[in-house]
Structure 1
Amino acid sequence: MSDNLYRSIAFCTDFSDNADEAFTAAKDLAWRYGATLHLVHVMVTFTSAPIREIYVPLEMDMHFVERATEAVKTTMEERYVRRLREKQPYELHILSGYPASEIVRFVQENSIDLVVMGSHGLTGIAHVLFGSTADRVVRKAPCSVLTVRFTKKD
């Protein structure tokens, strides 16, 4: 058994400023503990949204999902991977579904020791409709969850 407290850390992003700040904590903790950093983004799909009456032809939906997945991968590489230290172990994970549920499932299936995420991502009406993903993950994850609050820098 390893002496390290954390061997696998999941950083979950919605690409908000708050998530970017959480990334700094996640990458530093992963480096400090020699942990693999799992960079996770969940794409909300039509079938996972609360309103399922929207009809989208399957062919169009699959083409859109493929393009969106590639765009997310590129964004994750440019926004986060380039900021990792040389030889820092990481893995990219692009999931689809309802964010809180997919994050908890991912954590369970991959024996994640710590989840790091922003405390606030969605705002306004989106927050009212979807609630806080961070709140749900904190309540349901089988491991510790570090939520990072965004602080404006003067």
Structure 2
Amino acid sequence: MGSTLYRHIAYCTDFSENADQAFVVAKDLAWRYGAVLHIVHVMVTFATAPIREMYVPLEMDAHFVEKATEAARSAILERYVSRLKEKQPYEIHLLSGYPATEIVSFAEKNQMDLLVTGSHGLTGLAHVLFGSTADRVVRKAPCSVLTVRLKQAPAEEA
């Protein structure tokens, strides 16, 4: 009988370089434990962002949402699903809203055993305004969270 420590592992991606490194860890853990790998991407909708007074000159019409969903699904298939081992079980979950809130809610509703995410996604002004999604997820998640740090290139010797 296989281990049942992790049956459902959620890998959360914002398509950053750090998220790509976290994928390697998530797919390996899912394979080793025989777990279903849930690939989760949250499309940010500004209506749910913490700063509601922000002016966004973009209409979130159905066509735009459909195109964004299609692009995210294609990116997941190309960047992640194509790298899974043969017959490795996975599910794709495209959510919309505020990333930390949606990830925590997803983990609660779907009884995830582990969340795997990059430690840093957004940078610059977005990070200052919204803070770290990983930090919020770690504080509020109903299960363990593994944050994967971006590996830095080794410093060259003088």
Q: In structure 2, how many angstroms separate the alpha carbons of the residues matched to 1:46 and 1:134?
A: 19
Q: In structure 1, how many angstroms separate the alpha carbons of the residues matched to 2:138 and 2:58?
A: 36
Amino acid at match of 2:121: G
Q: In structure 2, how many angstroms separate the alpha carbons of the residues matched to 1:41 and 1:66?
A: 15
Q: What's the offset of the Cα at 1:4?
A: 1.7
Report the CA distance shift for 1:82/1:136 in structure 2 as closer, same or farther (over 3 A): same
TM-score by length of 2: 0.90
Q: What's the offset of the Cα at 1:66?
A: 0.6
Partner of 1:14: 14
Q: In structure 1, how many angstroms separate the alpha carbons of the residues matched to 2:18 and 2:56?
A: 33
Partner of 2:121: 121
Partner of 2:73: 73
Partner of 2:151: 151
Q: How many residues align?
A: 153
- The residue matched to 2:151 in structure 1 has which SS? coil
Q: In structure 2, how many angstroms separate the alpha carbons of the residues matched to 1:55 and 1:131?
A: 19
Question: What's the CA shift string for 1:44-85, capped at 9, x where partnerless?
Answer: 013112344547797x52110010000000000000000000
Q: What's the offset of the Cα at 1:25?
A: 0.2
Partner of 2:100: 100
Amino acid at match of 1:108: E
Structure 1 unaligned runs (5+)?
none
User: Once the two structures are aligned, what percentage of the paired residues are identical?
Assistant: 70
Q: What's the offset of the Cα at 1:133?
A: 0.3
* Aligned-residue RMSD, C-alpha: 1.9
Q: In structure 2, how many angstroms separate the alpha carbons of the residues matched to 1:126 and 1:84?
A: 31
Report if the CA contact (8 A) 2:3-2:33 is conserved.
no
- The residue matched to 1:122 in structure 2 has which SS? coil
Q: In structure 1, how many angstroms separate the alpha carbons of the residues matched to 2:80 and 2:30?
A: 13
Amino acid at match of 1:104: V
Q: In structure 1, how many angstroms separate the alpha carbons of the residues matched to 2:3 and 2:89?
A: 18
Amino acid at match of 2:63: H
Structure 2 unaligned runs (5+)?
none
- The residue matched to 1:40 in structure 2 has which SS? strand
- The residue matched to 1:64 in structure 2 has which SS? helix
Amino acid at match of 1:134: A
TM-score by length of 1: 0.93
